[in-house]
Amino acid sequence: MVDGSWVNPLSSFQEMGTLSKVLLLLGFVFLVAALVHGALFSDRMLPASLAFISLSLAVHYFSECRQTVSHDDESTTVTDWGKVWGGIVTSLVTIALILVAALIPTQKAK
């Protein structure tokens, strides 16, 4: 609560673009499917679904890092370096999760 008023926990989700929302939805669908089937971290589906979620955050951060600010008759584009670094970090996490998913050996059907 901020100043006694209720804060919507989904407000940041509403700010996300369409691509970020689609990637986030796919990530959670794959995550739930993997968990329902009893996936461990040794299964490829779990790190792949987490990679989708991380990629959606990276896309969101990079798409929001440049903003145009108007003051009087002048417009200036400013860079939010916190979002740039957030995008870089989540991109690195995405790459690491993709590598983990790619390096996990396939399991043979029982």
Ordered by start, the domain boundaries in the chain are 14-103
With bands split at pLDDT 50, 70 and 90, how would you rate the model's confidence at 5?
Answer: low
pLDDT digit string, tens, across residues 27-82: 989 888 888 887 776 778 888 899 999 999 899 888 888 888 887 788 888 888 88
Instruction: Please provide the DSSP assignment of 40-85 as one string.
Output: -TTSSHHHHHHHHHHHHHHHHHHHTSEEEEEETTEEEEEE-HHHHH
Tell me which of 28 and 4 has the higher pLDDT: 28
